Amino acid sequence: MIYLDSGVFKAFSMKASFKDEDTQINQYTNDRKYYEELVGKWGHLSDLSFTKVTLTPEQQARLDLLNGSEAVNQGNFEGTFALFVEHGVVVPEEVKGCFLEGKGEEYKNTTLDYYRELKRQKFKAIRDAGTSAPINGVQVGRETDRETILGAVRNFDSLTLVDGKKPWIMADNSVQLLTKEQLAELDVLYSIRKDACFVKYTDAVNALQAAQSIEEVMAVQMPE
């Protein structure tokens, strides 16, 4: 979010967001043209967008604190300072020897919130992967998948059948014959599994909120 320019820490003007295949990439920059050329050059990059950087009052206050300190002479802590300005993070073990040393308690809440959010995003990815995985070999992850299944159940007798069963393209692209009952069961199994995934996610998030140290936050795991 920030960079050092002629002895003054400044905020980047924009954030570039794009995808590297299925991975979302976000990077702060002042150079829009660089990213336009980068994404235009490489086929595995796509969905480029730019967001104007506007500091919150809290971020601006932390930036002002940074520039009013000896931080400008401590360039080896630049990454630490960037995390401090953007998220209010102060990890005592990582700020020894810089002006943030001794400020861990003052920024304890914002630091814990940052690490809680990192873990929450990890748990969300686990939750979503568990919710969207195929059931009995049938793709159910997208809403359109489930709509197709329910539509097939509603209109089963009007579909093209083989020996009373519907040829169905499975998640691995093979074709299997499924009965109406097998298709109908998928909706029930999906709802049960989704509910279980969200219960586990909620339990994990509640545990994160209860954690009172970075070590406790990092020790929280998604229930099996």
pTM: 0.86
User: Which helix (H) or strand (E) is 168 found in, with range?
Assistant: strand 166-169
Q: Tens of pLDDT along 28-80?
A: 999 999 999 999 999 999 999 999 999 999 999 999 999 998 877 777 788 99
Q: Tens of pLDDT along 211-222?
A: 999 999 999 999
Contact 9, 27 (CB under 8 A): no
Contact 11, 53 (CB under 8 A): yes
Residue type, 44: H
Cα radius of gyration (the chain): 25
Q: Which runs of consecutive H residues, i.e. helices, occur in 24-173?
A: 32-41, 57-67, 78-87, 108-132, 143-154
What average pLDDT score do residues 146-156 get? 97
Give the start-to-end residue ranges of the domains of the chain. Answer: 2-106, 124-219
Half-sphere exposure of 2 (CA within 13 A, CB side): 27
